[in-house]
Amino acid sequence: MDDSIAMQVTRYRPDKNSQPVPVDYEVPLRTEWTVLDGLNHIKAEQDETLSFRWSCRMGICGSCGMNVNGEPRLTCATFLSDYAPGPVRVEPLANFPVVKDLIVDITDFMEKLPRVKPWIIRDDDVTEIDGEYIQTPEELEAYQQFSMCINCMLCYAACPVYGLDPDFVGPAAIALAERYDLDSRDRGSRERLDVLIEKEGVWGCTFVGECTSVCPKHVDPAGAIQRYKLKAAQESVKAFLLPKALRR
Amino acid sequence: MSEGATTAAHDVLLVGGGAAGLRAAIAIAETRPDLDVAVVSKVYPMRSHTVSAEGGAAGVMADDDSIEEHIYDTISGSDWLGDQDAIEAFVNEAPRELLQLEHWGCPWSRQDDGRIAVRAFGGMKKMRTWFAADKTGFHMLHALFQTSLKYRAVKRYDESFVTRLLVDEGRVYGVVSVELATGRIRAITAKAVVLATGGCGKVFPFTTNANINTGDGMALAYRAGAPLKDMEFVQYHPTGLPFTGILITEATRAEGGWLLNKDGYRYLQDYDLGTPTDKPTLRSMELGPRDRLSQAFVHEVEKGRTTDSPWGPIVHLDLRHLGAKLIDTKLPMVRELCLQYERIDPVTDLIPVRPVVHYMMGGVHTDIDGRAGLDGLYAAGETACVSINGANRLGSNSLPECLVFGARAGRAAAEDAAAAPAPPAAIAAQVSDETRRLEHLLARDTPLDDGVARIREELQTTMEDAAGIYRTGPSLEKGADTFQALRERVGAVGVRDTSPSFNTELVAALELENLIDIGECILRSGLAREESRGAHQRTDFPKRDDERFLVHHTVRRDHDGNPSVDRLPVTITRWPPGERTYGR
Q: What is the arithmetic mean of pLDDT over A86-102?
A: 97
Q: What is the pLDDT of residue B314?
A: 98
Amino acid at B293: L
Strand B12-15 and strand B234-240: the pairing is unpaired
Helix (H) or strand (E) holding A107: helix A107-112
Amino acid at B94: A
Do the chains contact at B505 and A117, CB–CB below 8 Å? Answer: no
Alpha helices in B420-535, H assignment, sequence order: 427-443, 452-467, 473-492, 504-528
Q: How far apart are CA A194 and CA A205, in angstroms?
A: 17
B444-546 belongs to which CATH class?
A: mainly alpha
pLDDT at B2: 42
> Sign of the C-alpha dihedral, residues B213, B89, B254, B284?
positive
CA angle B108, B109, B112 (to 5 degrees): 130
Q: Is the pTM of this model over 0.90?
A: yes
**pLDDT number for residue B74:** 98
Give the CATH fold of the A107-246 domain.
Fumarate Reductase Iron-sulfur Protein; Chain B, domain 2 (1.10.1060)
- pLDDT value, residue A127: 72
ipTM > 0.85 (yes/no): yes
Nearest 5°: the CA angle B150, B156, B161 is 150
For residue B240, the cross-strand partners are B247, B354
Helices and strands, counts by H and E, chain B: 15, 23
**Pairing of β B37-40 and β B154-157:** parallel
H or E element that contains B70:
helix B67-77
Q: Which CATH architecture has domain B237-356?
A: Alpha-Beta Complex (3.90)
Determine the Cα–Cα distance for residues B557 and B563; give it in Å rounded to an integer. 5
Beta strand extents in A42-123 (DSSP E only): 65-68, 71-74, 88-91, 98-100, 103-104
User: Which listed residue (B128, B186, B283, B290) is catalytic?
Assistant: B290
B396 φψ region: left (φ > 0), alpha (ψ -120 to 50), beta (else): left
Residues of B in contact with A15 (CB under 8 A): 499-501
As a whole number of angstroms, the distance between CA A92 and CA B259 comes to 42
Neighbours of B3 (CB within 10 A): 8
Spans in chain B with pLDDT lower than 50: 1-2
Pure H helices in B112-210: 136-148
Instruction: Give the closest residue to B359 by CA, choosing from B179, B511, B137, B158.
Output: B137
What local confidence, expressed as pLDDT, does residue A246 receive? 59
Contact A99 B109 (CB under 8 A): no
User: Do residue A57 and residue B246 have CB atoms under 8 angstroms apart?
Assistant: yes
Among B104, B337, B502, the residue with its CB nearest the CB of A58 is: B337
Whether A1 has a pLDDT exceeding 80, the answer reads no
Q: Which of A11, A16, A39, A55 to mutate to test the interface with B (most CBs of B within 10 A)?
A: A55
Domain-wise residue ranges, chain B: 6-235+358-419, 237-356, 444-546
If you count residue pairs, one on A and one on B, with CB atoms under 8 Å apart, how many are there? 159
Stretch 139-198 of chain A: residues touching chain B, C-beta under 8 Å: 139-140, 143-144, 147-151, 176, 180, 183, 185-186
What region does B323 belong to: left with phi over 0, alpha with psi -120 to 50, or beta?
Answer: left
Helix H or strand E encompassing B332: helix B332-337
Same CATH fold, A107-246 and A4-104? no
Q: In this predicted structure, what is the pLDDT of residue B38?
A: 98
A44 at the B interface (CB within 8 A)?
A: yes
pLDDT score, position B22: 98
Residue A61: is its pLDDT beyond 80? yes
B548 tagged catalytic: no
Yes or no, beta carbons of A119 and B109 under 8 Å apart: no
- Looking at residue A247, what is its pLDDT? 52
All structural domains of chain A with their residue ranges: 4-104, 107-246
Binding residues of B for substrate are 237, 249, 358, 393
CATH superfamily name and code, B6-235+358-419: FAD/NAD(P)-binding domain (3.50.50.60)
Where is the binding site, in residues of B? 16-21, 41-56, 216, 237, 249, 358, 382, 393, 398-399
Could you tell me which CATH number the domain at A4-104 has? 3.10.20.30
Structure confidence at residue A17 (pLDDT): 92
pLDDT at A244: 61
